[in-house]
Amino acid sequence: MLVNRVERGRYFDSVALMRVSRRLEALAGVEAAALMIGTASNKDLLRSARLLSSEGEGATANDLVIAVRGAQAPEALACALEFLSEKQEPVGVAISRVRSLSGALEALPRANLALISVPGEFAAYEARRALERGLHVLLFSDNVPLEDEAALKRLARRKGLLLMGPDCGTAIIAGTPIAFANALPRGEVGIVSASGTGLQEVASLIARMGGGISHGIGVGGRDLDARVGALGTLAAIEALEADPGTAKIVLISKPPAREVAQRVLERVKQSAKPCVVCFLGLDDPGVAPTLTAAAEQATGKTLKRESLSARKAQGRVRGLYCGGTLCAEAGFIFRKKGLEGHEFIDLGADEYTRGRPHPMIEPELRNDHVARALADPAVGVILVDVVLGYGAHENPAAVLLKALKGGKTVIASVTGTEQDPQVWSRQAALLREAGVLVASSNAHAAELAASLIS
């Protein structure tokens, strides 16, 4: 039995809807369930999952579709409405709720940074307003036109401000984690990163080797594109050079435009502070080849490798990643070793998250892919990441373990610290107890996987 209910004019964020969906699917007599806003793309997803009825077809982007399939679908539908009506526990601190930038500045007149997370078509307008009011901006929104990004960063430069993003998912400003970030000790290393999980990995490794972070400035994944020209990166370098609490600077990016990379490398040579550069995929003797190497150079220490042993494996490696940069790093390590025919999938990419939370928030999205990899006779090793910190799932290791039912070799890295809400050692221990090989870092995990099939 398939039942749809359309709630007109109701909106919930995708994380809340995903959690209700999971609760419904756990009920007896329910085969599948989903709650989605009735956009065209979401209705396509429901249709492909055999969860869309004629009633759901009539939903609009302003409506909520509740879809349940199974023998107890009507009863589950009533449960869904009950779950949605549950009130959240009140937080311990009163939070001012405002509806505009002006209202926010009235509530916090001394604020100097605005975090903007609105649909991409409105984001540039809001960011420009904040810059004009003299605020630094962290632009969390994606789908901002590239020409708007460049214009905003030029405006920020003229005003002596930082424009972080667009599509900036991680920052640590004066010890304060923003968006997806880890609990880190304060220290002397400042990070400029065009990658959220790259920043998290390097910062966490530095912390685990006894160091600390002064600031972590995310600049957005397109900042080193030729059309933007590293405007955010260059401004962030200047800010960290002027910061008395920063003694070393680390730069991180997925493959930059070659001419932009050279511009940044020339700028780094002029810095009075020692700099470590990690541009993944850039084969240059002055560039750290991995995120792990960048953290080691920043601390002057060597990350201890876990003593792991496993039998040689037949078949391919399949990497199933929540972090896009961690996925890219693994792929570069394999290519540098001349290993071809292996598969590395970034499950946080747009084609996998359309209408769904990012897998760092809801890692169960990866479990279907894990099950398919376990069932595929061509796959000999499965490579995964587990990313901790604020904003991430409260127990990602436990979610992953629900899918690990098979005899194949599974290798994992855990990005995070002991101070994170999930606690790094606890997550690693859960995986080890289930027979997963837990490496010291993402690079070490990829190198171990490569050694088992080469």
**How confident is the model over 261-304, as pLDDT tens digits?**
999 999 999 999 999 999 998 888 889 999 999 999 999 999 99
In a domain, 198, yes or no: yes
In a domain, 211, yes or no: yes
Same domain? 287 vs 256: yes
CATH code: domain of residue 33: 3.30.70
Same domain? 264 vs 366: no
Alpha-carbon span 360 to 362, nearest angstrom: 6
Residue 80: predicted pLDDT = 94
In a domain, 164, yes or no: yes
Low-confidence ranges of the chain (pLDDT < 70): 87-95, 354-355
Same domain? 269 vs 329: no
Same domain? 354 vs 440: yes
In this structure, are residues 366 and 327 in contact, taking their beta carbons and an 8 Å threshold? no
In a domain, 404, yes or no: yes
CATH code: domain of residue 344: 3.40.50.261
- Name residues whose C-beta falls within 8 Å of residue 303's C-beta, 6 or more positions apart in sequence: 205, 208, 209, 292, 295, 296, 440, 441, 444
Alpha-carbon span 409 to 74, nearest angstrom: 42
pTM of the entire predicted model: 0.86
Identify the domain boundary among 28, 50, 85.
85
How would DSSP label each residue in 57-76? HT--TTSEEEEEESTTHHHH
Phi (first) and psi of residue 17, to 5 degrees: -65, -40
Two tokens at 290? 């991995």
In a domain, 219, yes or no: yes
In this structure, are residues 275 and 267 in contact, taking their beta carbons and an 8 Å threshold? no
- In eight-state DSSP terms, residue 134 is T
232, 235, 238, 239: CA torsion to nearest 10: -90
In a domain, 361, yes or no: yes
End-to-end CA distance of the chain: 50
Residue 272: predicted pLDDT = 95
169 CB neighbour count, 10 Å cutoff? 25
Residue 95: predicted pLDDT = 66
How would DSSP label each residue in 251-277? EEESSPPHHHHHHHHHHHHT-SS-EEE
In a domain, 272, yes or no: yes
Identify the domain boundary among 60, 85, 110.
85
286 CB neighbour count, 10 Å cutoff? 12
Alpha-carbon span 426 to 260, nearest angstrom: 41
Identify the domain boundary among 17, 52, 85.
85
Which range of residues forms the domain containing residue 247? Answer: 101-299
Two tokens at 9? 């004019």
Residue 353: predicted pLDDT = 73
Same domain? 261 vs 357: no
* Residue 211, phi-psi category: left (phi > 0), alpha (psi -120 to 50), beta (remainder): beta
Residue closest to 415 by CA, chosen among 437, 434, 443 = 443
Two tokens at 452? 């088992």
Alpha-carbon span 118 to 123, nearest angstrom: 6
Sign of CA dihedral 347, 352, 358, 364: negative
Same domain? 258 vs 383: no
Same domain? 49 vs 111: no
Residue 352: predicted pLDDT = 78
Token look-up 């088992």 returns 452
In a domain, 38, yes or no: yes
Alpha-carbon span 251 to 195, nearest angstrom: 10
Phi (first) and psi of residue 369, to 5 degrees: -65, -40
Same domain? 370 vs 263: no
Q: How many domains does the chain divide into?
A: 3
Same domain? 109 vs 47: no
Alpha-carbon span 298 to 295, nearest angstrom: 5
Residue 99: predicted pLDDT = 81
Residue closest to 39 by CA, chosen among 63, 11, 17 = 63
Alpha-carbon span 88 to 239, nearest angstrom: 40
Alpha helices in 177-227 (DSSP H): 196-208
Across-strand partners of 217? 192
Same domain? 132 vs 262: yes
144 CB neighbour count, 10 Å cutoff? 23
Same domain? 379 vs 439: yes
Token look-up 């996925």 returns 327
Residue 364: predicted pLDDT = 86
Same domain? 194 vs 169: yes
Two tokens at 171? 């920052």
- Where b means 16+ CB within 10 Å and e means fewer, 61-70 reads eebbbbbbbb
